[in-house]
Chains A and B, each alone.
Chain A
Amino acid sequence: MMSTLISLFLKLSAFSLVAFGGINALLPTLYDLSVNQEHWINSQTFADYFAIAQAAPGPNLMTVTLIGWKVGGVIGAAVATLAIAWPSSIMIYFLQRSIMRMQDIQKQKMIQAAAGALAVGLVLSAAWGIALQINTGIAAYLLTIGTIAITLFTRWHPLYLIAIGGALGVLGFI
């Protein structure tokens, strides 16, 4: 138990420092770790935890919290949540001072442009990777594509889309 928690803590801490694009970019890596490598949960549970985290209020890192909870109860949840947040928190604490005070605006813009492009690539690959893992059929892909179209071309609140998706699922379409 203890060694599982330590492994959870160390691996998630390392992920925290490469998660350009936030938790979303991290999802396929998280899937790989928790389903393929460590067998903490199966593919179905991962998909369901992802759905619960989407539907619940709060930051999208709740998928990580749920995986931690499955591994080690409430302590596991706390360890996982802490692990995913502390390295980047310390990094941003020191970085924001130096970036905000950076005299060289060009350098600041350069960092933003480079990191921005990395984030876009990682978020899109994550969406693709995670769709392959959790979308179960044609209908699910159509719903994903519909969501993308609606979000890009309208100003609907995401909560409506989540509700519609849930309803379609309950009715057995997905």
Chain B
Amino acid sequence: MSTQPKTLSPMQLFIGFSKIGMSGFGGVLPWARRTLVEQEQWLTSEEFSAMLGICQIVPGPNIVNLGVCVGSRFAGVSGAFAAVMGLMLGPVAIVLLLGILYEHYSYMPVVQGLLRGISAVGVGLIASTGFKMMRTELKYPPMLSVIFLTILAATYFHLGLGWVVLLASPLAFYLAWRKLNK
């Protein structure tokens, strides 16, 4: 069944991750699964989920983290570089092009309306990502206090991100320990 190669060249990783980056409208992670698991079959579904789980708990851009994980697994440091470059180059070029267009046309009411509509949807997409992730926490309700504390510190007391993380992580680790030892 398992015909996946043990190693991939940096070039293969670059091309694979270019596809992921360029097709990732409205979030790259679903496309990452489709490409890595279904099309290229570099990873099994279980391997992908385990890897993604780790990449989402570490801070920083999740998809870049995933590129580093997958790339370094198949081709070491140069694989990680190739994957991240593949992921970023195309989208950066496109977004800069859009930035230039924006400089020229942002005075037009139609463009302003378009962007207002898109950004309102964008906020909603981020919030729903948060709510979907929260489904896991609902299985152990005390953990909701961490979420509450984080939101309170960040939005009511306007603490910086670093302080919020410092403040909430002791409670998060304590409750995680309780959750697993109950």
Give the tally of cross-chain contacts (CB within 8 A): 360
- B125/A161 in contact, CB under 8 A: yes
Instruction: Report how many residues on chain A are interfacial, defined by Cβ distance under 8 Å.
Output: 105
- A96/B61 in contact, CB under 8 A: no
- B84/A89 in contact, CB under 8 A: yes
- Counting contact residues on chain B (CB < 8 A from A), the size range is 35 or more
Which chain B residues lie closer than 8 Å to A28 at the CB level? Answer: 154
**What's the Cα separation between A80 and B54 when bound, in Å?**
24
- B61/A114 in contact, CB under 8 A: no
**What's the Cα separation between A108 and B32 when bound, in Å?**
24
- A168/B22 in contact, CB under 8 A: no
- B151/A152 in contact, CB under 8 A: no
B93 CB to nearest A CB, Å: 10
Scan B63-105; emit 1 where CB is below 8 A from any A CB, else 0. 1110011001000010010001001101110111011001000
**What's the Cα separation between A129 and B120 when bound, in Å?**
13
SS class, residues of chain B in contact with chain A = helix
Residues of A that sit less than 8 Å from B by CB = 14-29, 47-62, 65-66, 69-70, 74, 77, 81, 84-85, 87-89, 91-93, 95-96, 99-100, 106, 109-131, 134-136, 139-141, 143-148, 151-152, 157-159, 161-162, 164-174
Residues of B that sit less than 8 Å from A by CB = 21-28, 50-51, 53-65, 68-69, 72, 77, 80, 84, 87-88, 90-92, 94-96, 98-99, 102, 106, 109-110, 112-134, 136-137, 140, 143, 146-151, 154-155, 160-162, 164-165, 168-169, 172-173, 175-177, 179-180
